[in-house]
Amino acid sequence: MKFDLFLEQCDLAEYHWKESLPDFGFSYLRETFPEAKKLMKDMYQREIDEARESLKLADERERFIDDLIFRKASKENEEELRMILTAVYVTPLRSEKERLIKRNAFYIASLNGVAPKGGITDEQIARAKEYPISDMVAFKKNIACCIFHKEKTPSLHYYYRENRCYCFSCQKACDAIDVAMEIYGLDFIHAVKKLSR
């Protein structure tokens, strides 16, 4: 009986340990595992190819909607029906996939050491990561309420030496760029440009 209780406690401890592991993003993986660049490039390219196939599906849906409206709709309802059907069936798929293609193209260019047109350099990214998170979030004794979710009890811990944060409630690990993206509502490129000035 005591042994079973001990095993349950071990399983629970292992579960909590696994849940507490940070969710490392692209920048962290790129810096920590430079030998994985080829695998990362292949993965991002595969995602781009899949997204392009999905965009073809969005085009097919758009043609189907145009055909359906041409055959079934009256002249008065034609534009309104096209707007509704496009908003429901085409736009969400198209915008999500276009965003994924743009993000992955940026990642691949970054892995190749090339800043995309209008993009940013690795030096700018490094400078942005050095921007003190404590200048954007009000910490008390290196703890604050998480910026990624609503909470009453602070669980966002600030690690001064690494200039990184970790929320023990939502298990979100972040650097200065992630914090700026969340607080100011910026995309990655604009957050880097803002912090690296």
Q: Are 81 and 69 in contact (CB under 8 A)?
A: yes
HEC-encoded secondary structure of 98-147 = HHHHHHHHHHHHHHCCCCCCCCCCHHHHHHHHHCCHHHCCCCECCEECCC
Query: Which letter does DSSP use for residue 172 in this model?
Result: -
Confidence category of residue 21, pLDDT binned at 50, 70, 90: low
Q: Which residue has the higher pLDDT, 58 or 161?
A: 161
pLDDT band at residue 80 under the 50/70/90 scheme: confident
> Quick one: which of 106, 116, 89, 131 has its CA closest to 48?
106
**What is the DSSP-derived secondary structure letter of residue 168?**
T
64-71, Cβ contacts within 8 angstroms, sequence gap of 24 or more = 65/89, 65/90
pLDDT digits (tens, 9 = 90+) for 37-65: 888 888 889 999 998 888 888 788 778 87
CATH homologous superfamily of 120-197: Zinc finger, CHC2-typedomain (3.90.580.10)
More confident residue, 30 or 190: 190
Most distant CA pair in the chain, distance: 77
What are 89-132's pLDDT values in tens digits?
A: 777 777 788 888 888 888 888 777 766 656 677 778 888 999 99
Domain ranges of the chain: 26-117, 120-197
What pTM was computed for the model?
0.45
Reply yes or no on whether the pLDDT at 76 is more than 80. no
